[in-house]
Amino acid sequence: MNSLVKRLIKLHGLIIFLSIFLISCSTSKKDIVLAEFDKQKITVEEFEKVYSKNNGGYEVAKKDSLTKKKNFLDLYVNFKMKVFDAKRRELDKLPDVVAEYNDYKQKIGITYLLEKELVEPNIKTLYEKRKEELRVSHIMFRPDTAGFEGAYRRALEVLDSIKNGASFEEMAKVYSQDYYSAPYGGDIFYITAGDIIPSFEEVCYKLKPGEVYPEPVKTQFGYHIIKVTDRRPRTPEVRASHILIELKPGFTSEDSSKALEKIKSIKEKIELGEDFAELAKEFSEDEGTKNLGGDLGFFSRRMMVQPFDEAAFNLEVGQVSDIVKTQFGYHLIKVTDKKSIRSFEEEKDVLKNIYQRIKYNEDKQRFLDSLKRVFNYKVNSTLIEQIAAKSDTIQVGGQYWVSEIKTEFGDSIIVTYAQNKISLDTLLARAENLAEFINRRLNKPTLENIVNRISEDLLLAEAVNYLPEKYPQFAELMDEYKNGILIFKLQEEEVWNKIQINEDKLREYWEANKEKFQWPDRVEYAEIFVKSDSLAQEIYKLLKNGEEFDSLAAKYTERPGFKEKYGYHGIKPVLDNALSQKADQLKEGEFSEPFKNSNGYSIVKLIKKHQAGLKTFEEALPEVSGAVQELESKKLENDYIEFLKATYKPRIYYDKLNRAFVD
């Protein structure tokens, strides 16, 4: 081999080796320290995460200037030092902080738990299912006098016949007790997930076209034998136009023949290239749509009668149907647009509503049952029987706490779970906070309902304790909340509680900054407001004839709360609103003509004009007080930051900021 070639091969290998070596040795973002204080470190990885969250996401943050990132890093270091200082002072162990944190954790945790364990996975499944629509037939057996067992036996007999070769459609016509679909061989047309009973839906989505489910399916209506006859991608909505030649009630065969000939002639015109919309305007007998060129707008499955629906959803955009007959007459249908299935995020709220309505409660109960098994949940049924035998007249509430039942059983354990023990006293104390149980007799059904209701909260609250381990995002959320509480406590101690303001300090500030506190041009005015133009004109005539404005305002003004004030609005800046601007155009003591104002008519009287000028100390006091408090707060905040810097000696490595947001 040529020596040059050999050297090139060696060089190529060296380059590859060096590349691998450099990649393997490159410092991870979690190891690059941007700032540190008192053995605490802020890494590039942490900075990217926090910065992205507060500045519109990673991709947006990448484009931000180095100056903006530097300023944020300064603020974040201060924040981290505050949290560290709060924990050093053990503010996180204060009873009120612990109580507030635990209360929030339980409230937000239960919602988070149910969202993650139930809602999110189930609406994602629902979304995937709703990408398809299924055409379904069924044979229904009602409970009737024989009950559900009788319905099940009848369903099994018919199902066996179908398995042995009998026609599903013929058996439906003979045996189905859904008298609407039976004549059509059990066909209930197209359905999609979220439209029907969950137990029925679940089975349908397991079947291929032509398959019959091998077992009868139970719903609240009875038992069903289910067959899927078609599966297809779902079109949520179509937009269509139609031309209708009407068949009026009581039509004869001759009427039908004439209508059919007429629609045929229109179809021929379309086939020869004439415009569908123009033909609809000329010939359609649907008075509601003909002037729109037959346009029906968008509609979804089952909004139209079945023959119309089936024809429309089988057409492509721009296609015109064959002649379609419905109970209304003969139609020609043209599809003009179709909607596609929206993204999961766009559909999320709709999916949640569907899920909450049809399946959430059932799934929640199954989830609670699983928690009972996991937490070894037990109910003391013997205790419930003992209490029920002695408390037929005692009610939940104050009566219980002075009863013999409390004396005898109050400390007895009624529920155990996850090594927790709940006494009867504890259970009924919780029940008193639920309106549904107040003053209910403490009999067996009430006790069992209380146990079930309270246990639901207890089990969910226990499950929340495991959320931080399973869901890191929840742990981060709770850390953020705890840090927020700690910062609030620090602000109280270091800023708000230290602010000391007296009148001398306020007056001193006002004297030095008088020019900042000025009145604009103002007007003092009253108004009569009525909703009727004619009434406004009548009042205006009375004013011109010398009647008192105050008296007429007290009698007629319809602005809420102004009758008793004789229409008086007080002193307002000229530019405050349309009324003050109108008043400014008048002379003192004059009133305006009626003018349109919002949803009625106003007459304004100018009482006095107040010229722009400096506010007195008393007039400026609220603003002065706010300004001085803000100055004091900023000073104390700055003093505290300087204390933190002196105590923890932060070191910030701005030169490493260019390593952030580099992929």
Predicted pLDDT of residue 314:
97
Closest CA to 301 of 456, 215, 190, 169: 190
Helix axes 549-556 and 533-544, enclosed angle (nearest 10): 160
Provide the residue ranges of all domains of the chain, joining segments of one domain with +. Answer: 133-233, 247-339, 350-464, 518-614
Q: Is the pTM of this model over 0.85?
A: no
Structural contact between residues 451 and 434, judged by C-beta atoms closer than 8 angstroms: no
Predicted pLDDT of residue 23:
35
Cα–Cα distance for residue pair 613/521, rounded to 1 Å: 8
Structural contact between residues 267 and 330, judged by C-beta atoms closer than 8 angstroms: no
Encode pLDDT of 252-280 as tens digits.
999 999 999 999 999 999 999 999 999 99
Specify the 3-state DSSP secondary structure of 31.
coil
Topology of the domain covering 518-614 = Chitinase A; domain 3 (3.10.50)
Instruction: Summarize the confidence of residues 132-143 as an average pLDDT.
Output: 97
Encode pLDDT of 514-531 as tens digits.
999 999 999 999 999 999
Cα–Cα distance for residue pair 620/168, rounded to 1 Å: 88
Topology of the domain covering 247-339 = Chitinase A; domain 3 (3.10.50)
Predicted pLDDT of residue 555:
95
Residue 398 clears pLDDT 90, i.e. is over it: no
Share above pLDDT 70 across residues of the chain, in percent, rounded to a whole number: 96
Token pair 């506190």: residue: 517
Query: Three-class SS string for 601-654?
Result: EEEEEEEEEECCEECCHHHHHHHHHHHHHHHHHHHHHHHHHHHHHHHHCCEECH
Encode pLDDT of 529-544 as tens digits.
999 999 999 999 999 9
Cβ burial of 241 (10 Å; 0-12, 13-18, 19+) is buried
* Average pLDDT of the residues of the chain: 93
Predicted pLDDT of residue 417:
97
Cβ burial of 214 (10 Å; 0-12, 13-18, 19+) is exposed
Cα–Cα distance for residue pair 112/125, rounded to 1 Å: 19
Q: Decide which of 3.90.950.10, 3.10.50.40, 3.40.50.2000, 1.10.3720.10 is the CATH code for 133-233.
A: 3.10.50.40
Instruction: Summarize the confidence of residues 365-379 as an average pLDDT.
Output: 97
| DSSP assignment letter at 193 | T
Instruction: Summarize the confidence of residues 416-434 as an average pLDDT.
Output: 95
Predicted pLDDT of residue 26:
52
Residue 381 clears pLDDT 50, i.e. is over it: yes
Q: For residue 479, which phi and psi values (nearest 5 degrees)? A: -60, -40
Structural contact between residues 636 and 494, judged by C-beta atoms closer than 8 angstroms: yes
Token pair 């205006």: residue: 540
Specify the 3-state DSSP secondary structure of 523.
strand
Domains 247-339 and 518-614 share a fold: yes
Instruction: Summarize the confidence of residues 627-633 as an average pLDDT.
Output: 95
Predicted pLDDT of residue 144:
86
Predicted pLDDT of residue 611:
94
Specify the 3-state DSSP secondary structure of 221.
coil
Encode pLDDT of 217-233 as tens digits.
999 999 999 999 999 99
Residue 495 clears pLDDT 60, i.e. is over it: yes
Predicted pLDDT of residue 390:
86
Residue 549 clears pLDDT 90, i.e. is over it: yes
Cα–Cα distance for residue pair 20/14, rounded to 1 Å: 10
Q: For the chain, what is the largest distance between any 2 Cα atoms, rounded to a whole number of angstroms? A: 121
Number of H helices, E strands in the chain: 26, 20
Let me know the angle formed at the C-alpha of 116 by 115 and 121, rounded to the nearest 5 degrees: 100
Least confident range from 18-32, 176-190, 411-425, 635-649: namely 18-32
Residue 404 clears pLDDT 70, i.e. is over it: yes
Six token digits for residue 663: 């992929």
As a residue count, the chain comes to 663
Predicted pLDDT of residue 17:
38
Instruction: Summarize the confidence of residues 289-307 as an average pLDDT.
Output: 96
